[in-house]
Structure 1
Amino acid sequence: MADRPSEGPRPGSDEGEGAGPSSSSISDDEWQKFVQDAEREAASAPKEPSARARMVTERLRQQEARGELPPGWRTGPAWQEMNGQAARRRRRWAIVGVPLAVAVAVVAIRPSLIPGDPFGTADSSPQGVAASPLPAETAAPTAAPGAADSAVPTVARPFAGSPAERWADGEAGISLPKATPVGTLSKGQVEQALQQTRKLLVDANLDPATLRGERPETALGVIEPRQTELLNLLTTALRKPDKDHDPLWMFSRFDPDEVRLAGDVVKTRGRMTFKAGEDASVAVHADYTFVYPLVREGSTEVARTIVRRVVDIELSDPARYQVTPGKIAVLRYDQEIGNSACDVYDGYLHPQFDSSAPTGAPPSGPTTDPYDRSKDIEADRAEGCGIVSRT
């Protein structure tokens, strides 16, 4: 409550003239009411704006006159709606904020999860992303394939750390060139020569029965029966192998009591070409490398054996020569074998495992890269077992 003024002359009064009531004529209740009314009037009375307020008001008035302020800025709906949107945005962030924070944390740990890998951090090895297959080989490469990743092969990924991981699987790697007529031979006869050559390669190097050591009947069946010397040599080699009769010269075989394939895929890479041969024939040249991943019984350690085979085939015109129609003559068969025991002539390839002591004679030849297909197999190379730089 306001202090009651002391008695005495009040402003606007003429003491002694009776112009107004004396202080003694105002009761306490009337004075209290007067004070309350005065306080209410003071609170509701307009206040003189400050100089800064006047400047802001004038600036807003001028901006409004120039059309620089949004509609309804005085009455409020525009900014109230903006505040409403801001509140909704905040609620939306509050809902998605936690999942987004988790996503940011996950991406920070594994940025390769972002589609397209914009940061370029995806695992470049085939373990991180599927290895893109190489296009078919149409000509001799100019150099050996580059180094692959350093991953250790496993049963789940038996070609890890090998250039062969990008090679074709099995028969898919033996594609045929488009047949055309050659000399007196029709397109169909040339196609037949190519198909028979493919059958020979598939049965000799990829058929599961052949790989287990069984007799490769299909491969033997496409060879010209008049090649009796060759057929007798191969038959003896399959029945009773020795140094002078080795089935590995033509066929890939593994002892089923020793090893088995790690999975069911053999990687294949190579090419097949043809041209006109001598004496009314078509000459087919095939050059392929096969990579075999192997494991021993009861073990998960993987070893790879690499076999490169080169064969030259001829199909002569049966209208001009005494040949068996549809059969092919084998003019050359050669091979290079990487990672197999030296000087063992039991008719099987014997891969060397890192965890085991080497078997057979120690290597005595030069070091070579079994994946290098840029050079032809040297026909006059010295006999002996060389060292491979990688498997």
Structure 2
Amino acid sequence: MGDPREPPEGTPDGGSGNEDEYRSVVFDESFVRAARIQELSARERLAGSFGRATRPKVRLGPFGTVPRQALALLLLILMAFAAAVYFGVSSPKGTSARPEGSQLTVSLVALSPASAVRPVADPANPFAALAAGYGDGTIGLNTPAGASTEHFSRVEVSKALDTVQRYLVASSLAPTALVQGATADVRAFVTPGEQAQFDASVAQPVDDRHHAVTGWVVRFDPAQVALATDTVKVIGAMRVDEADSGTLQITTDHTFVYALRQAGAPAGAPVTLETVRRELTFQFDRIDLGAAQLRLVDAVVQAGPEPCTTSMAGFLQPVLATPQGTQVPGPAALDPGNHAHPAWQVCGVLAGS
């Protein structure tokens, strides 16, 4: 019996049967993968939807052959890169780039004595003749309690006031800074954006309104001056406000009185009172508050008795009294038309002796 798959008449002459008839059709692997069979639902079969058995493949141009997982990953990377660029060039509302460079402006005013400088009556009690109202050290700073402002909380204001108080102690009351030349404790409070200016002021002080170290710290030349007592009398106050919505500002205005004698002088040697007024303006952003650092942006320093002819940029230069009294020439007349003299370098007259 013949093969039932063969036609009754037999295989046509010259033909090769069913096998040869479809030999030219090649179902390679890529063709099979590209063909997506769509299984029709019962409703589609009843409705006679037999027009198309495959679902068309969506083409995405050059990305058409990329697997969907890889395409999704590429899209996520592009979105992350776009976000990084956006946030890198866009500052959040209410913030700005942190200040750098020479931010502190310093005004130094020497106060020349109106008469001969005489020593205190009792070296063991040098502040006996001082007016009422002065306190010892930090008591005289009169640091207020923190209170919230429009954009800063009570806790943030309290942190700023505490940082300012500790800075004033390090820069105006500590003997290591006053007569030992130490500056590291003061520098620790300075923000990174101002540290280069601070370092330049210490290394090469000059009265150019930006690089006088005495704008940052009260200091006397240890080769010339010694403290008769570590006690410093202080009177003054602090004021809190805002420079802008992201900047807290504290202004301090204090007068410090120091009891000084000649370096190397024995106990009982003449003691002179040096008076220094410091009006300082500090600013804080929230990064400064978190780091307990500050930006000192303005310093006005009046000191006397001081000679008008000596620079105060590196050290304050007090006139020390002798038993007979020390006479110092008064300030010279200033000619406003003489532009060879810097306008900010002025000398006043110290009230009293």
Secondary structure in 2 matching 1:184: coil
Structure 1: distance between partners of 2:282 and 2:273: 28
Shift of 1:286: 0.7
Whether 2:209 is the aligned partner of 1:241: answer: no
Q: Give the structure-2-normalised TM-score.
A: 0.56
Q: Which amino acid aligns with 2:277?
A: R
Correspondence for 1:386: 348
Structure 2: distance between partners of 1:344 and 1:213: 21
Q: Give CA-to-partner distance per residue, 1:30-69, whole Å, 9 cap, x none.
A: xxxxxxxxxxxxxxxxxxxxxxxxxxxxxxxxxxxxxxxx
Correspondence for 1:159: 127
Aligned CA distance change for structure 1 residues 364 and 384 (closer, same or farther; 3 Å):
farther
Secondary structure in 1 matching 2:200: helix
Secondary structure in 2 matching 1:190: helix
* Runs of 5+ consecutive residues of structure 1 not aligned to the other structure: 1-149, 367-379
Structure 2: distance between partners of 1:354 and 1:260: 13
Q: Which amino acid aligns with 1:175?
A: N
Amino-acid identity (%): 24
Q: Which amino acid aligns with 1:251?
A: V
Trace 1:5-154 onto structure 2 (pairs within 5 A): 152-154=120-122
Given that 1:223 and 1:328 are in contact with CA atoms closer than 8 Å, whether structure 2 keeps it comes out as yes
Given that 1:153 and 1:159 are in contact with CA atoms closer than 8 Å, whether structure 2 keeps it comes out as no
Given that 2:119 and 2:270 are in contact with CA atoms closer than 8 Å, whether structure 1 keeps it comes out as no
Trace 1:1-391 onto structure 2 (pairs within 5 A): 152-163=120-131, 166-227=133-194, 231-244=195-208, 245-296=211-262, 297-298=265-266, 300-318=269-287, 325-345=291-311, 347-355=314-322, 357=326, 362-364=330-332, 383-391=345-353
Secondary structure in 1 matching 2:251: strand
Given that 2:186 and 2:217 are in contact with CA atoms closer than 8 Å, whether structure 1 keeps it comes out as no
Structure 1: distance between partners of 2:128 and 2:333: 27
Aligned CA distance change for structure 1 residues 275 and 388 (closer, same or farther; 3 Å):
same
Given that 1:155 and 1:301 are in contact with CA atoms closer than 8 Å, whether structure 2 keeps it comes out as yes
Greater strand content = 2
Q: Which amino acid aligns with 2:204?
A: K
Correspondence for 1:127: none
Greater helix content = 1
Correspondence for 1:108: none
* Runs of 5+ consecutive residues of structure 2 not aligned to the other structure: 1-117, 335-341
Q: Which amino acid aligns with 2:189?
A: V
Structure 1: distance between partners of 2:307 and 2:229: 22
Structure 1: distance between partners of 2:119 and 2:271: 12
Shift of 1:347: 1.8
Shift of 1:162: 2.6
Q: Which amino acid aligns with 1:335?
A: V
Q: Give the structure-1-normalised TM-score.
A: 0.51
Correspondence for 1:41: none
Shift of 1:214: 2.1
Structure 1: distance between partners of 2:136 and 2:244: 34
Structure 2: distance between partners of 1:184 and 1:166: 34
Aligned CA distance change for structure 1 residues 281 and 240 (closer, same or farther; 3 Å):
closer
Structure 2: distance between partners of 1:353 and 1:383: 22
Aligned CA distance change for structure 1 residues 237 and 280 (closer, same or farther; 3 Å):
closer
Correspondence for 1:128: none
CA root-mean-square deviation: 3.0
Given that 2:190 and 2:294 are in contact with CA atoms closer than 8 Å, whether structure 1 keeps it comes out as yes
Aligned CA distance change for structure 1 residues 184 and 354 (closer, same or farther; 3 Å):
closer
Secondary structure in 2 matching 1:172: helix
Secondary structure in 1 matching 2:192: coil
Structure 1: distance between partners of 2:344 and 2:238: 27
Q: Which amino acid aligns with 2:213?
A: P
Shift of 1:365: 6.9
Secondary structure in 2 matching 1:226: helix
Kindly report structure 1 stretches of 4+ aligned residues shifted beyond 3 Å. 150-153, 242-245, 322-326, 356-359
Given that 1:365 and 1:384 are in contact with CA atoms closer than 8 Å, whether structure 2 keeps it comes out as no
Shift of 1:259: 2.0
Q: Which amino acid aligns with 1:211?
A: L
Secondary structure in 2 matching 1:385: strand
Structure 2: distance between partners of 1:381 and 1:194: 33
Secondary structure in 1 matching 2:347: coil
Structure 1: distance between partners of 2:308 and 2:239: 32
